[in-house]
Amino acid sequence: MSKKTEAVTRRVDPEEAAFLRDYRPADFPRPSVTVDVAAFSVLDAELRVLLVKRGGHPFKGAWALPGGFVRVGDGHRDQGEDLDAAATRELEEETGLRASDVYLEQLGAFGKAARDPRMRVITVAYYALIRPDLVPLVRGGGDAAAADWLSVNALRPADMAFDHHGIVTQAARRMAERVSSSSIASSLVTKTFTIPELRHVYAILTGKPQDPGNFRRKFERMVEEGIIEQAPGKRITASKPALVYRFLPEKTEHECRRR
């Protein structure tokens, strides 16, 4: 049973019930909460992030992460939506993709005062990894003036709204830390891939060249552990047709949770 369910179904004694009836949330400071989603993919041999150009103030015309306010209820009986539900909703509204289509994980909270000029707003950031073959299915939503996949390495703080440049930077750092100890790279390659294609993703995320011999040994261990298997067909290359492989979904999910 989840903590949310426990909070809703537990017995409330009469004194607490009376306290809740008279409780006035407006008597206390209530900062607004948003969720922002940094959606990444590997396109044209580089790490790119999906950004929207803001169509209104504040930061009109600046690039920003897809996101929005968490829906909040009006009292103890209706407390709105969970953070994960808000992130999933924003992902679907801003990209057209379901959470089951991508890898989605909470990155952390960003609450520096004055990060939003309108009022005190705390955001909980998530990062999503989108396979390159799903990118053509992404459709923009909301009131953004435009949307595009921009190179992470080319982003400048001055071009981005709020503290979103820092969120992108921290998300990229998190991915670099996790790629060697989890299977998150499976969400940045097509369903079938060659060894060099996967090695290239590792190099992009870590920002370091991957020695072909060392990577092949790592790759072979992943095959032995049942994380990766050979797939039907071959990929045409400049020299000779190359074998293609695929991640095993069940094993990949287990590895990501375990590590």
Q: What is the pLDDT of residue 193?
A: 96
Please check whether residue 12 lies inside any domain of the structure: no
Q: In this structure, are 166 and 186 located in the same domain?
A: no
CA atoms within 13 A on the CB side of 129: 23
pLDDT greater than 50 at residue 3? no
CATH code: domain of residue 237? 1.10.10.10
pLDDT in tens, 137-167: 998 666 556 889 999 999 999 999 999 999 9
The residue among 178, 211, 230 that closes a domain is 178
pLDDT above 80 (res 202): yes
83-105: pLDDT as tens digits? 999 999 999 998 889 888 999 99
Lowest mean pLDDT among 7-21, 143-157, 210-224: 7-21
Q: Are residues 144 and 207 in the same domain?
A: no
68 and 83 both lie in a single domain: yes
Q: Which of the 8 DSSP states describes residue 132? A: G
Higher pLDDT, 68 or 23: 68
Q: Say if 67 falls within a structural domain.
A: yes
Is pTM beyond 0.75? Reply is: yes
Answer yes or no: do 104 and 212 share one domain: no
Q: Containing domain of residue 91, as a range? A: 31-178
Are 88 and 184 in the same domain?
no
Q: Domain ends where: 162, 178, 194?
A: 178
Same domain assignment for residues 52 and 146 = yes
Q: Residue 256: pLDDT above 60?
A: no
> Where do runs of H (alpha helix) occur along the chain?
3-9, 14-22, 83-95, 164-178, 195-206, 212-224, 249-258
pLDDT at residue number 9: 61
Final residue in a domain of this structure, among 142, 161, 178: 178
Give mean pLDDT, residues 49-78: 89
Q: Which of 6-15, 109-118, 176-185, 234-243 has the lowest mean pLDDT?
A: 6-15
130 and 257 co-located in one domain: no
pLDDT at 5: 40
64-88: pLDDT as tens digits? 999 999 998 776 777 889 999 999 9
| DSSP character at residue 70 | P
Total number of domains in the chain: 2
Q: What is the pLDDT of residue 39?
A: 97
| pLDDT > 70 fraction of the chain, expressed in percent and rounded | 89
CB 246 within 8 A of CB 192: yes
Q: Are residues 218 and 150 in the same domain?
A: no
> 165 and 214 share a domain?
no
| Predicted pLDDT at 143 | 58
> Under a CB-based contact definition with an 8 Å cutoff, are residues 130 and 137 in contact?
no
Reply yes or no: is the peptide bond before residue 58 cis, omega within 30 of 0.
Answer: yes
Domain identity same for 160 and 209? no
- From the list 110, 149, 113, 142, the residue with the least C-alpha distance to 128 is 149
Q: Do residues 172 and 215 both lie within one domain?
A: no
Residue-averaged pLDDT of the chain: 88
The confidence score (pLDDT) of residue 145 equals: 64
